[in-house]
Structure 1
Amino acid sequence: MSEEATTPSARQVELLEAAYAYALTHGLADLSLRPLAAAIGSSPRVLIFLFGSKDGLVRALLARARADELALLDRFGPAGRKESIGLVRAVEEVWAWLAAPEHRPLLRLWAEAYARSLVEPDGAWGGFARRTVDDWLDALAGCQPPAERDGEQGTTRRTLALAVLRGALLDLLATDDEARVTAAVRQQLTHFGGC
């Protein structure tokens, strides 16, 4: 396949960005092409032509959301740091980003896609939850000093850090009680010991 065939057109990129902005506000669970197309200045026929199907559009939107997630994770992984910062500091910095109100639309979309991929593992959502777990574990590994990262407890500590972040995020999205949830994250970090 030639590079031209795999490179999205300017119109496809433009509509994907507009559809992504729409999805951040409206979610993806009950996505209907007609209202989406009207909201972004297109038609269902054009969206199907450009993305192959509604599932193709959903996959493209999930990939776009994942790109935002990966951009965040790059700030904490080896590419974004000259030295490892340790899990405690990484969790503090990631949590500060997650707790910021301006990131809630993206995080709600992430939670929706994560849950949907668990109940529809073979559809357009398939694999999203697993990929995001792997992405986060890889980024957290980059925050650990090599001796810890490569040691017996490295994976366990990364998994615990991820569990704290994910649980706190879901609680925050459900309640908007940032002060309470942030206090809980900080309390848990005191138990990380040498992380």
Structure 2
Amino acid sequence: MVTTNPAPSARERELLELAYEYALTHGLAELSLRPLAAAIGSSPRVLLFLFGSKDGLIRALLARARTDELALLQQLRYDDKPGLDVVARELWTWLAAPERRSLMNLWVEAYGRSLVSPDGPWGDYARSTVDDWLELLQTSQPDGHTAKARARRTAVLALLRGALLDLLATGDLDRTTKAVRQALSD
């Protein structure tokens, strides 16, 4: 017999959104339930009841962050295969937008924690985001199934993520954008 989780209540969805906004500002690594609960108008007990544990809440927050990422991926799917460089430039524009800095900071934190604590609530976060982005990049390549195409999209993903880390560390949008554009035009 297969059991399914019941749909989240309106209160659970509301608290998840509030906790997500909190996490975008404060991060997840040092998340403490008391300050979080106070900031979102709840209590640690309610959060534990709704999410099962602190790890359950972190998993829910990571899933919520991934929802934003997957929404972008859906928007960037093309039927006409415009080419890897075109999609990569659009991805960079989305990743580098100032209004996404907090989401990108959260992504870096979760990605890093996933590598260091693969058995914790961060689980397979890093691997799943790599798979998601490589899948999108593959849809932009007419010859997406060849070894050469796989290598090229892996290089493009490495470029985008490296430039993103540099941007988040320095705030230098102009320099990182020029580097991405130059690398994509070669």
Tell whether the structures are fold-level matches, with TM greater than 0.5. Answer: yes
**What does residue 104 of structure 1 align with?**
101
Residue 114 (1) aligns with residue 111 (2): yes
**What does residue 93 of structure 1 align with?**
90
Question: Structure 1 residue 152: deviation in Å?
Answer: 2.5
Question: Structure 1 residue 75: deviation in Å?
Answer: 1.6
**What does residue 30 of structure 1 align with?**
30
**What does residue 51 of structure 2 align with?**
51
Q: Structure 1, residues 111-168: CA drift from partner, whole Å, max 9, x if none?
A: 00000111001000110000000000011111111xx102231111110110010000
Cα distance in 1 for residues equivalent to 2:80 and 2:33: 46
**What does residue 144 of structure 2 align with?**
149
- Could you list the runs of 5+ residues in structure 1 that have no partner in the other structure? none
Supply the AA of the counterpart residue of 1:166: R
Question: Structure 1 residue 102: deviation in Å?
Answer: 0.5
Q: Structure 1, residues 35-85: CA drift from partner, whole Å, max 9, x if none?
A: 0000001000000000000000000000000110111111222xxx23111
Partner secondary structure for residue 104 of structure 1: helix
Q: How does 1:63-102 map to 2 (within 5 A)?
A: 63-77=63-77, 81-102=78-99
Partner secondary structure for residue 153 of structure 1: helix
Question: Structure 1 residue 98: deviation in Å?
Answer: 1.1
Matched-pair contact (CA < 8 Å) for 1:87–1:140: yes
Question: Structure 1 residue 2: deviation in Å?
Answer: 5.8
Q: Structure 1, residues 13-38: CA drift from partner, whole Å, max 9, x if none?
A: 01000000000011001000000000
Q: Runs of 4+ in structure 1 displaced over 6 angstroms? A: none
Cα distance in 2 for residues equivalent to 1:133 and 1:60: 19
1:177 to 169, 172, 178: 172
Partner secondary structure for residue 140 of structure 2: coil
Identity %: 64
- Cα RMSD after superposing both structures: 1.1
Question: Structure 1 residue 179: deviation in Å?
Answer: 0.5
**What does residue 62 of structure 2 align with?**
62
Partner secondary structure for residue 174 of structure 2: helix
Cα distance in 1 for residues equivalent to 2:16 and 2:139: 31
Matched-pair contact (CA < 8 Å) for 1:76–1:143: no
- Could you list the runs of 5+ residues in structure 2 that have no partner in the other structure? none
Supply the AA of the counterpart residue of 2:82: I
Cα distance in 2 for residues equivalent to 1:128 and 1:152: 25
Q: TM-score, normalised by structure 1?
A: 0.92
Cα distance in 2 for residues equivalent to 1:29 and 1:157: 33
